[in-house]
Structure 1
């Protein structure tokens, strides 16, 4: 059960719009194929209600309504009515899983709380809404008040409910405790279907999920990219890989779609995926060390079961000071560029020099580096900015005037925009529309300023583009807009200057 749209939305600063909730729900259920999703908390806001209603309408048409759940509270009929009005059919009822929570937060006895819960269950049955139970703070309950936990489950298993969900609400458990506590639940209540809900406060969420499954739990909760309150929840991608590779179990999840949903949620949430995040981080399928690239060329000596193709990704070889000739050769092979040993050594040395100067190097930089080092005309600068002017006046939309030279001919356009760079790009698009040329889609835009940098520090802007493929370009300048413009002009030259076979033949023959 994935709870990105409920527990994941409790990440500080994250709020999904109606459209975003629907998009994530659709991809999770139809592309990734998780079994259930939890999409909202009842009574939160009008926006939450509208988003839930929109997802429920779609789900009803697609036959997914029983797979969609909403967190509700022990409040008589209030949460139930909210869910019913939104079109929902399942409530995940938040009950107390520890004696402290009952007596100190609710200031009730266990019997009083149980009676309140029973009333909600009865109301839900009358309204045709299925009930699952969350035992909030269950992990603390198992540590300090087991008798209370057993009392609640013994009583609740006699009620008309679906599943009892065991949350490590504050992320306090270690793997041994998780195994022991989950096993105790399964052995004491063999007829109950349990879920385990991990939090990652000690960075043990995945380990705890692993041990919950080993103990016999057969449903675990996840969030995309590990979103969630405080340190987050167990990441969907890591859970799926762990289940398959380490526990040798099967799920219904289509793991080739995990990268797709991760990128979608990254975009909607605004929470960037760490570059070294297992399975979904930008660099986790990137070999940096030259010895690794060499080993991969010799019977895949540095491969493990986590093949990138499983997750809709590809293996890459980084360009940097530890790359070595093997990494660089692999990147050149992808471009169809063949160099003799001496030329390859020169290019390798140049890349190492650039990396020592703390310059990041993308694959798209490689033809330019080859041209520079070998003094060839492999890359022809077909596009050049003649001049541009960008104006910003408080209270008015920014305006850009751009003069561009393409294949020796000059074109000029202007445009306003939501920002200065947006105005510049819109002017470029107008030029390309006039010429009937396609213009790539901007996928991502990252600005990096050195930590502790001053106002005159160099800004590095890396922009990701998408046309028939995805690629990156970068620009370096003390001015952020200028850096972005340099990256954009680099992009235009890349798409204008497709590497022709005769060019490749020329560079090979010149340097053989």
Structure 2
């Protein structure tokens, strides 16, 4: 395998993920999620907003105490009071977020561009003077004026920020635009660049991969959990970087299904059956042509091995099943069929499924196996 360099992945499930509408993790749930993320090899977690109040401030301190080996990042607005709350909570890494588009600066804060730069310079230096490492996030960077973005993030780097975040806050870009924009920043900013994707157009994972190829770190959430349509999904980004892009990530992909199930339960957001990699149907096969090939060599119809991400392959009986599939399914139930019985079973399956899919395919299939033998119509 050609080594393209280790990718830096920052998980923000416990901050941006929890900002999804209707989601609120308990302290115990946060601790459990952080523990599994750490066990899966995630080295950086952005968690909570200590400025929200005592619960978040104490919650951040608890996560720090429980995870001494992880880089835990506290998120803040570009306000001294926010930074003070994070510093009181013991944060050694603080993320300072500032709007980067003229629209957000004017409408949200009533600031002109020069003030955004001066506030950033001041607060980065303030946090650095108090021993914290600083990341500056440019909110709505994808809709900002490029010259201003370079000035803003360049000033952050000059003031001591070790990383700057390019946030596609509304998910408006495509992978080509992301690759170009991130590459442009990397050439001009004296700090590591991180890309933060949103999935409003369904492009978050692809955009995150484009950013990594341009040389950036990326932030993700488990299952893509996040505001509106969510963020780039940890499991998809890590798997694509490892299996497709041949990059080291440090992430144990075999923990991804477990991790997604834990976050799904805590968030109350069910995992769609066809969710890539971790959905219950992600490695389910019915089509006769596919199953016949799969039984000969799984690589014919599976690029990702199910066990690689903590799942198992399933072959499901149904209307599109062929003889190989039905023989396999019958064998799974302890039955061996001769060619004539197999032909009859194929007829019966297609007849039964012609009225619609049964709620329990395996139960319906088992009942057909138990029927008295008879010849299929010519």
The aligned counterpart of 1:173 is: 173
TM-aligned CA distance change 1:335 to 1:39, over 3 Å: farther
The aligned counterpart of 2:195 is: 196
CA distance in 1, matches of 2:346, 2:47: 50
Counterpart among 64, 73, 78 of residue 74 in structure 1? 78
TM-aligned CA distance change 1:301 to 1:223, over 3 Å: closer
Q: Larger relative contact order (C-alpha < 8 A, sep ≥ 6)?
A: 2
CA distance in 2, matches of 1:232, 1:116: 29
Q: Mean Cα displacement is larger for which, 67-76 or 242-251?
A: 242-251
**1:277 counterpart SS class:** coil
Contact 2:322/2:346, CA 8 A, preserved across alignment: yes
CA distance in 2, matches of 1:272, 1:8: 14
Structure 1 residue 337: Cα displacement? 3.0
**1:4 counterpart SS class:** coil
1:485-505 residue CA offsets vs partner (Å, 9 max, x unmatched): xxxxxxxxxxxxxxxxxxxxx
Counterpart among 78, 84, 92 of residue 89 in structure 1? 92
TM-aligned CA distance change 1:348 to 1:53, over 3 Å: farther
Confirm whether residue 33 of structure 1 aligns to residue 15 of structure 2. Answer: no
Contact 1:198/1:233, CA 8 A, preserved across alignment: yes
CA distance in 1, matches of 2:91, 2:131: 10
CA distance in 2, matches of 1:44, 1:362: 49
Tell me how large the CA RMSD over aligned residues is: 2.1
Counterpart among 111, 124, 127 of residue 124 in structure 1? 127
Confirm whether residue 232 of structure 1 aligns to residue 230 of structure 2. Answer: yes
Structure 1 residue 365: Cα displacement? 5.9
Contact 1:317/1:328, CA 8 A, preserved across alignment: no
The aligned counterpart of 1:52 is: 60
CA distance in 2, matches of 1:282, 1:95: 40
1:404-455 residue CA offsets vs partner (Å, 9 max, x unmatched): xxxxxxxxxxxxxxxxxxxxxxxxxxxxxxxxxxxxxxxxxxxxxxxxxxxx
The aligned counterpart of 2:139 is: 136
The aligned counterpart of 1:146 is: 146
**For this pair of structures, how many residues does the alignment match?**
363
CA distance in 2, matches of 1:358, 1:88: 54
The aligned counterpart of 1:283 is: 281
**2:136 counterpart SS class:** strand
CA distance in 1, matches of 2:56, 2:91: 13
Higher Cα Rg: structure 1 or 2? 1
Q: Mean Cα displacement is larger for which, 107-116 or 89-98?
A: 107-116
Q: If the length of structure 2 is used for normalisation, what is the TM-score?
A: 0.89
Structure 1 residue 50: Cα displacement? 4.2
Structure 1 residue 366: Cα displacement? 4.7
Q: Structure 1: state its 5+ residue gaps.
A: 376-512
1:4-38 residue CA offsets vs partner (Å, 9 max, x unmatched): 111111211111111111111110112x1122111
Contact 2:290/2:301, CA 8 A, preserved across alignment: no
CA distance in 2, matches of 1:52, 1:335: 51
The aligned counterpart of 1:5 is: 14
Structure 1 residue 273: Cα displacement? 1.5
The aligned counterpart of 1:339 is: 337
The aligned counterpart of 1:209 is: 208
CA distance in 2, matches of 1:17, 1:133: 28
**1:112 counterpart SS class:** helix
CA distance in 2, matches of 1:301, 1:21: 38
**1:220 counterpart SS class:** strand
Structure 1 residue 234: Cα displacement? 0.8
The aligned counterpart of 1:114 is: 117
1:293-341 residue CA offsets vs partner (Å, 9 max, x unmatched): 1112233463342111211112111222112332232233334432333
TM-aligned CA distance change 1:58 to 1:300, over 3 Å: closer
Q: Structure 2: state its 5+ residue gaps.
A: 1-9, 374-378
Confirm whether residue 185 of structure 1 aligns to residue 189 of structure 2. Answer: no
CA distance in 2, matches of 1:342, 1:50: 70
CA distance in 2, matches of 1:147, 1:115: 16
The aligned counterpart of 1:157 is: 157
CA distance in 2, matches of 1:334, 1:232: 39
CA distance in 1, matches of 2:90, 2:225: 26
State how 1:247-326 maps to structure 2 within 5 Å: 247-300=245-298, 302-326=300-324
CA distance in 1, matches of 2:318, 2:232: 33
The aligned counterpart of 2:31 is: 22
